[in-house]
C-alpha cells in the first residue's frame, strides 16, 4: 500500500483556514464530500465520533483523524496544512498544522489499520514534515507525501 493509493492529487489542502478542531473537521468533511459525494454531515459525525474515543492529534503538530463508514467505497485520504496551527487537544498539547484524514469502508479491517500505520510512519519523519511545512503548492505537497519526484503519484511512499 502506497500513499498514492490513499491520496488523490486533488485531495490536498495546502493552506486551510480553520480556527478550531471542529472547523477543521468540517472543512475536511466538506472536501471529502466534494470528492466522494458521501454526506458531508455523516463524514463530520464519523470523525467527531472517533475523536470522542480519544484524540487523533498524535503529537509534533500532526493529527490523523479517521473513521469507517459503510458509504465509503475504498480507503481514501485528504491532507491539509493548516495556515495557523490550531488547538487539537493533541497528546503532547501542541497545536496542529499537518492533518491527514483517512476514511475507510466499514469492512476495511486490517487495510484500515495498515493505512493508518503507513500515514503515521510517513508523518513521524521530521524531514518530511519540514518539507511539508515549507512547500508552497498542493502539487509540491503531493509529491512529498507520495515520494514522487515527477508529481505523477506512481512512486512508492
CB atoms within 10 A of CB 110: 7
**Domain ranges across the chain:** 3-146
Point out the catalytic residue in the list 33, 37, 66, 112: 66
33 catalytic? Reply is no
pTM across the whole model: 0.92
CA dist 3 and 151 (Å) reads 13
The confidence score (pLDDT) of residue 148 equals 74
Higher pLDDT residue, 154 or 36?
36
Q: Which residue is it, cell 508523518?
A: 123
pLDDT tier for residue 1 given thresholds of 50, 70 and 90:
confident
How many CA atoms does the CB half-sphere of 134 hold within 13 Å? 7
Pairing of strands 96-105, 66-69: parallel
Per DSSP, the three-state class of 143 is: helix
How many CA atoms does the CB half-sphere of 91 hold within 13 Å? 10
Contact 141, 14 (CB under 8 A): yes
Give per-residue pLDDT as tens, 20-47: 999 999 999 999 999 999 999 999 999 9
The domain covering 3-146 belongs, at the CATH homologous superfamily level, to: Mannitol-specific EII; Chain A (3.40.930.10)
Average pLDDT, the chain: 93
Give per-residue pLDDT as tens, 38-83: 999 999 999 999 999 999 999 999 999 999 999 999 999 999 999 9
Amino acid at each position: 500500500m502506497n500513499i498514492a493509493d490513499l491520496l488523490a492529487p486533488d485531495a490536498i489542502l495546502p493552506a486551510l483556514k480553520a480556527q478550531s478542531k471542529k472547523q477543521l473537521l468540517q472543512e475536511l468533511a466538506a472536501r471529502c464530500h466534494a470528492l466522494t459525494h458521501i454526506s458531508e454531515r455523516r463524514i463530520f459525525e464519523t470523525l467527531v465520533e472517533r475523536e470522542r474515543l480519544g484524540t487523533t492529534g498524535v503529537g509534533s503538530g500532526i493529527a490523523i483523524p479517521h473513521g469507517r463508514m459503510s458509504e465509503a467505497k475504498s480507503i481514501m485520504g485528504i491532507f491539509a496544512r493548516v495556515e495557523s496551527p490550531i488547538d487539537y487537544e493533541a497528546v503532547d498539547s501542541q497545536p496542529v498544522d499537518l492533518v491527514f484524514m483517512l476514511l475507510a469502508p466499514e469492512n476495511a479491517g486490517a487495510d484500515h489499520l495498515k493505512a493508518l500505520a503507513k500515514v503515521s510512519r510517513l508523518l513521524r519523519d521530521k524531514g518530511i514534515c519540514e518539507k511539508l511545512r515549507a512547500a508552497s503548492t498542493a502539487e509540491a505537497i503531493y509529491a512529498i507525501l507520495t515520494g514522487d519526484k515527477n508529481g505523477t503519484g506512481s512512486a512508492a511512499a
